[in-house]
Amino acid sequence: MRMLVVGAGSTGGYFGGRLAQAGRDITFLVRPTRAAQLAERGLQILSPHGDFTLRPQLVAADRIAGSYDAILLTVKAFSLESALADMAPAVGQETMILPVLNGMRHVDILADRFGKRTVVGCACKIVGAVDEQGRIVQHNLLHDIAYGEMSGEVSPRIERLDHFMRDAGFDARLSPAIEREMWEKWILLAGLGGINCLMRGTIGDVAQAPRGTEFALAVLDEIVAVVREVGVPPNPEFGAVARALLTAAGSSLTSSMYRDLQKGVRIEADQIIGDLVERARSAGIETPLLGAIYAHLCVYQRRLLS
C-alpha cells in the first residue's frame, strides 16, 4: 500500500513519520517552504515515545504521478480547498481518503469533490505542535488514530488499511462506529474550544470561577442537543467522560483553537463552532451560548484579517 500524507505538521508529520519509520511507503505532499525545511533538516520528531529524525519522501503538487492507495489528509480546515486542488491528481477510483480535520463539514466537501466512496472515517487524538525549528513536539503519551468505513462495514479495503496502520509506533484501531466517534470528537472540540476561548482560560480556571462549572456544562449540553438532532448521538459513557473532563478542578486543559487564538493566528472558528450553529439553525434549535461564542470568535477573526 502507498500512502500520501497531505501536510507535515504536528498531526500529519507525526503519524506519517511513524509509518515511514516502520517501513511503510509514505510520501508527504507539502508546500515549498515546508519542503525546503524538511529537505534541509529532515523530519524531526520529539516524543515521549522516543525521538527520531528521518529523510521523508516528498512530492510537489505538480509532480504527482498517478494515484495512491490511501491519502491521510491533515491540513487545517481553512486550507482544505487548496489542499484538495493539490492532491486531486493522487485520487483514483480506489483511493481511500482519511481526513483528520476538525468538525464534519469536510466529509461532505470531500464526497462532493471525489465521490462518497473515497471517504473513509478517521479520528485521531494527539497533542503536539511544530516548534520554531520545524520540529514536531509531542506533548504527552497520547497518539491514537481510529478509522473505518462510514457505513460500519468491515470491507476488504479497510482490512488492508488496518494491516498497514498497525504496529507502526502508535495506537491504531479499526472502528465499527467511526462516524459516531467523529461526532463525539466534534462535541469535545467544540465544548473545550468554546469554553476556553470565550472565558480566556483553562478548564481549571473556568471551574474555579463563580458558576464556571454550570457554564461549562451548559455549553456541553447545548452542543449535545444539536448533535442528537443533526448527527450521530454520543454514547452515554462518552457524555460522562466529557462532563468530567470539561469541569475538572485544577485542569490545565486547553484546545488547539484557544492556543492559536493566544498566538494571534488564524483559527477554525467556522468549522468547529460556526458549522454547529448553522446546522442548529437549519433544524430549528436555539443555541444562545454557541451563538455568543461564535460571534466572539468572529470579532477576533475579522480584526486579524483586517
Residue type, 120: V
Strands 52-54 and 57-59: unpaired
SS3 per-residue string spanning 205-250: HHHHCCCHHHHHHHHHHHHHHHHHHHCCCCCHHHHHHHHHHCCCCC
Inter-residue contact 193 to 255 (CB < 8 Å): yes
Residue 3, classed as helix, strand or coil, is strand
Say how many C-beta atoms besides its own lie within 10 A of residue 127's C-beta: 15
Q: Which residues are catalytic?
A: 185
Question: Quick one: cell of 9?
Answer: 505538521
What span, in angstroms and rounded, lies between the C-alpha atoms of 220 and 167? 35
Q: Minimal CA–CA distance to 20: which of 61, 52, 62, 66?
A: 52
Q: What angle do CA 123, 80, 262 make, to 5 degrees?
A: 80
Inter-residue contact 118 to 110 (CB < 8 Å): yes
